[in-house]
Amino acid sequence: MPSRSYPCHPCLKSLNAFALFAFFAANHLSASVRTFDLTTLTAAHSFTAERGYGFDLGTAPDTAGNPFYFSVAVPEGNWRITVTLGDTAAAAVTTIKAESRRLMLEQVATAPGEIVARTFIVNVRNRALVPPEKNAPGGTRVLTNDREEGSLTWDDKLTLEFAAGARVRTIALEPADVSTVYLAGDSTVTDQRWEDGASWGQMLTRFFGPDIAIANHAESGETLKSFTTGLRLAKVLERMRPGDWFLIQFGHNDQKQQWPQTYVEANTTYKAWLRTFIAEARRRGATPVLVTSPQRRTFDDQGRIRNTHGDYPAAVRAVAAEEGLALVDLESASRMLYEALGPTQSPRLFANAGKDATHHNNLGAYLLAQAVVQSLRDQNCPLAQHLVGDLPPFDPAHPGNPDDFKLPASPQRSTVAPRGT
């Protein structure tokens, strides 16, 4: 049965919990819709495989307003989530992330007594692959690494993270028949599990409306070759459908000659592998988009960013032009961004308190995601039609004051360095 959307319905602002349930019942005839009233659940309703839903990771809402997680066991696919937010007696600001810290809703403010509904799409996946036929090459599972063990990205449930101060009344979810944007790439794209790391791919979800899904298959340390041999590409292609999109960003690790099994030369094998990814997406009716790798934060004596990527960004630009593809030039955008802030302020965009010159924190990832979005808009790429409607223009040469960025940190932290470092 087709899913039905109900974003920001004006009537919801004044409804109590009972009336909200009536609203959902009246607007969702599909038996597949599941609604959870968090105002009636307690810490005892923790997630178990037997229950199939509940508060997770040892958390639950409390009077102190601490962060908490809520999970529901679901099959892989795209899920439309509608949450009702607000407090009958107090003002609140709610930020929601999904799975491994994908930003879904950013600081939704509600006045005392105001109840609002917001809708977004979460992509859920697991490691399983359709088994190959007898005697055929392939595998039955994606070959994940040790760093991914325990990741919320690869389990059999949908997990929502509610930041400190969140006020959540109900959660409704149902399968969503929408197009999907698949992301393939490395540590600068992947959903980083822990603070203080972050990547632009996990921020991109905040900028798209509830009519399209973002499926971030990027992973730290990956290259074009390893993404294929590890069956990550097979997983993407197995799920890809006509009307989907495929954003491809590799280069950070592909350029490493000390990795002979996955090294590709910029003007020959690198281009050839990019064209393979492009052809596979097109064969399935999806639209590929190429993305150049953001630069590392290495300044010269004149305060300019050094090129640490050699001929690889130029190779991506050339393939995009030859194949007639949209190009998101993050290499150029990152240069402008870092140089605008200079050697003193630009470390504020990077992980490990700025000691890492490659991997970003929440602020850096958010700004690069804005650069991706602005590039799609500037090119009138049809994918930009799915962006939320309240986005101001973004100029990486004028990123604004870093002090103005306010995104609640996630509870989970780690000093584990990303693969590929």
Residue for token pair 């359709």: 130
> Quick one: 294 and 234 in the same domain?
yes
pLDDT of 4 over the 90 cut: no
Q: Given this model, what pLDDT does residue 420 score?
A: 76
CATH number at residue 136: 2.60.120.430
> Quick one: 248 and 391 in the same domain?
yes
Q: Choose one of 133, 152, 177: the last residue of a domain.
A: 177
SS3 401: coil
pLDDT of 202 over the 60 cut: yes
Average pLDDT over residues 130-139: 96
pLDDT of 26 over the 50 cut: no
> Quick one: 123 and 266 in the same domain?
no
CA distances to 3, 70, 397 from 82, in Å: 12, 14, 36
> Quick one: 226 and 89 in the same domain?
no
Q: Given this model, what pLDDT does residue 30 score?
A: 54
Q: Given this model, what pLDDT does residue 31 score?
A: 58
Q: Given this model, what pLDDT does residue 69 score?
A: 98
> Quick one: 245 and 225 in the same domain?
yes
Q: Given this model, what pLDDT does residue 390 score?
A: 83
Q: Given this model, what pLDDT does residue 74 score?
A: 97
Residue 159: in which H helix or E strand, if any?
strand 157-162
pLDDT of 24 over the 50 cut: no
pLDDT (tens digit per residue) in 147-192: 999 999 999 999 999 999 999 999 999 999 999 999 999 999 999 9
Q: Given this model, what pLDDT does residue 23 score?
A: 43
pLDDT (tens digit per residue) in 214-240: 999 999 999 999 999 999 999 999 999
In three-state form (DSSP H/G/I as H, E/B as E, the rest C), the secondary structure along 72-140 is EECCCEEEEEEEEECCCCCCEEEEEEECCCEEEEEEEEECCCCCEEEEEEEEECCCECCCCCCCCCCCC
pLDDT of 375 over the 80 cut: yes
pLDDT (tens digit per residue) in 304-322: 999 999 999 999 999 999 9
Q: Is the peptide bond before 186 cis (omega within 30 degrees of 0)?
A: no
pLDDT (tens digit per residue) in 348-367: 999 999 999 999 999 999 99
pLDDT (tens digit per residue) in 80-99: 999 999 999 999 999 999 99
pLDDT (tens digit per residue) in 63-86: 999 999 999 999 999 999 999 999
Average pLDDT over residues 386-412: 95
pLDDT (tens digit per residue) in 139-153: 999 999 999 999 999
Q: Given this model, what pLDDT does residue 27 score?
A: 41
pLDDT of 20 over the 90 cut: no
Q: What percent of the chain has pLDDT above 70?
A: 92
> Quick one: 163 and 192 in the same domain?
no
Q: Given this model, what pLDDT does residue 29 score?
A: 34
> Quick one: 227 and 256 in the same domain?
yes
Q: Choose one of 144, 177, 210: the last residue of a domain.
A: 177
Residue for token pair 């400190």: 164
Q: What is the pTM of this model?
A: 0.92
pLDDT of 15 over the 60 cut: no
> Quick one: 184 and 173 in the same domain?
no
pLDDT of 28 over the 50 cut: no
pLDDT of 19 over the 80 cut: no
Please provide the average confidence, as pLDDT, over all residues in the chain.
Answer: 92
> Quick one: 201 and 151 in the same domain?
no
Q: Choose one of 117, 145, 177: the last residue of a domain.
A: 177
> Quick one: 134 and 222 in the same domain?
no
CATH number at residue 305: 3.40.50.1110
Q: Beta-carbon neighbour count of residue 74 at 10 Å? A: 18
What's the number of domains the chain is made of?
Answer: 2
Average pLDDT over residues 243-265: 97
CB distance 93 to 106 below 8 Å: no
Q: Given this model, what pLDDT does residue 419 score?
A: 81
Residue for token pair 């890492």: 356
CA distances to 69, 158, 278, 393, 415 from 60, in Å: 7, 16, 44, 38, 25
> Quick one: 78 and 194 in the same domain?
no
> Quick one: 121 and 196 in the same domain?
no
234 is in which domain, residue-wise? Answer: 178-421
pLDDT (tens digit per residue) in 279-288: 999 999 999 9
